[in-house]
């Protein structure tokens, strides 16, 4: 999550254990989410200057930001180091009246009974994160490649991976409207509904940046089906079709849309969720204006012209507005979605 945010030019600035939550009450099979981005900042190429965050977890450059020098996203890496220290030892690394001095001189204990079971790799990661000089601190990319994290790689049933990848390939045949419907559902599903997809995504996302590049997708297909498999045919075209916002990568929502599309034709609650994403007036009908608003959202603006939006909406109305009232009701929507799902399976 931190790598994804930093790659987007966003710093959290208040990382602490209280801002990490489980997505469900089953900690052994759930994932962790970073919350409370209230003091987050889109830093881009600029420096940050506000003294924000929680004292125990704030980096020294944040504590002393009034000196005018400012600070960068490395402040989050310091906070991460403090969090790991607290989680492994049960106490903060710096406390007392001389707290800032100890931070600047990197004085913190790593001995005692609570540290006997902590591996050298874990200690190495903490030391790399609690460097007072931000320029010497580990970057988020170095953290992701650290031995302590690499040994905790995600494993998943190969058959589940194969099924998800096959679904992705079939989904590349979908219409733009069906793709966006699936994406809108993917955004609303809870963690349980996306659990297998999340695990496959993490396995494919080798560098942990929160998006899939073409080489990561190709390597995953090769591992699942073999380098000579027909499943690898036209894979670049498949990749471009799944990347419907034209970013050059497949983000998590696009990936989940490709993984859940079969549910769009079988489960009524999923069909209704997609319908409601388009029915902004909540009147049980999707008008041309409502459809155009969804289709012209920021996710696809860079790929489509106004004429593209109009052509898609006109085609949908001509084909699926069977009662001729100028809108799509739920029954017409179900027929639209199921016909598009069947097209993906041909």
Return the CA Rg of the chain.
24
Answer whether 319's CB lies under 8 Å from 243's CB: no
Give 240's strand partners.
none
Answer whether 252's CB lies under 8 Å from 182's CB: no
State the Cα–Cα distance between residues 283 and 104, nearest whole angstrom.
61
Catalytic, 14? Answer yes
Active site residue: 14, 209, 251, 299, which one? 14
State the Cα–Cα distance between residues 143 and 6, nearest whole angstrom.
13
Give first-to-last CA distance, the chain, whole Å.
37
State the Cα–Cα distance between residues 273 and 218, nearest whole angstrom.
32
State the Cα–Cα distance between residues 62 and 67, nearest whole angstrom.
10
Active site residues: 14
């Amino acid at each position: 999550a931190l790598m994804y945010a930093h790659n987007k030019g966003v710093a959290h600035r208040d990382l602490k254990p209280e801002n990490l939550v489980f997505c469900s009450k089953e900690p052994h099979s759930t994932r962790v989410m970073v919350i409370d981005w209230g003091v987050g900042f889109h830093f881009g190429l600029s420096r940050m200057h506000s003294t924000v965050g929680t004292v125990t977890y704030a980096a020294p450059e944040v504590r002393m930001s009034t000196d005018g020098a400012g600070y960068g996203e490395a402040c989050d890496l310091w906070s991460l180091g403090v969090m790991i220290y607290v989680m492994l030892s049960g106490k903060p690394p710096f406390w007392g009246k001389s707290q800032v001095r100890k931070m600047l001189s990197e004085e913190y204990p790593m001995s005692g009974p609570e540290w006997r079971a902590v591996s050298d790799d874990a200690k190495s990661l903490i030391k790399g994160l609690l460097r007072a000089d931000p320029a010497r601190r580990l970057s988020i990319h170095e953290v992701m490649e650290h031995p302590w994290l690499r040994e905790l790689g995600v494993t998943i049933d190969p058959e589940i991976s194969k099924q998800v990848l096959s679904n992705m390939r079939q989904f590349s045949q979908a219409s733009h409207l069906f793709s966006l419907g699936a994406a809108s559902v993917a955004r609303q599903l809870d963690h349980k509904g996306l659990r297998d997809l999340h695990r496959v995504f993490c396995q494919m996302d080798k560098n942990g940046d929160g998006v899939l590049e073409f080489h990561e997708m190709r390597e995953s297909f090769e591992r699942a089906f073999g380098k000579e498999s027909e499943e690898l045919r036209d894979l670049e075209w498949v990749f471009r079709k799944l990347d419907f916002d034209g970013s050059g990568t497949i983000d998590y929502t696009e990936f989940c849309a490709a993984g859940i599309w079969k549910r769009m034709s079988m489960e009524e609650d999923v069909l209704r969720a997609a319908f409601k994403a388009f029915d902004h007036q909540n009147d049980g009908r999707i008008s041309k204006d409502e459809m155009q608003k969804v289709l012209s959202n920021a996710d696809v603006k860079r790929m489509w012209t106004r004429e593209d939006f109009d052509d898609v909406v006109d085609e949908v109305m001509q084909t699926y507005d069977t009662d001729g009232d100028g809108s799509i009701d739920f029954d017409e929507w179900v027929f639209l979605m199921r016909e598009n799902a069947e097209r993906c399976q041909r």
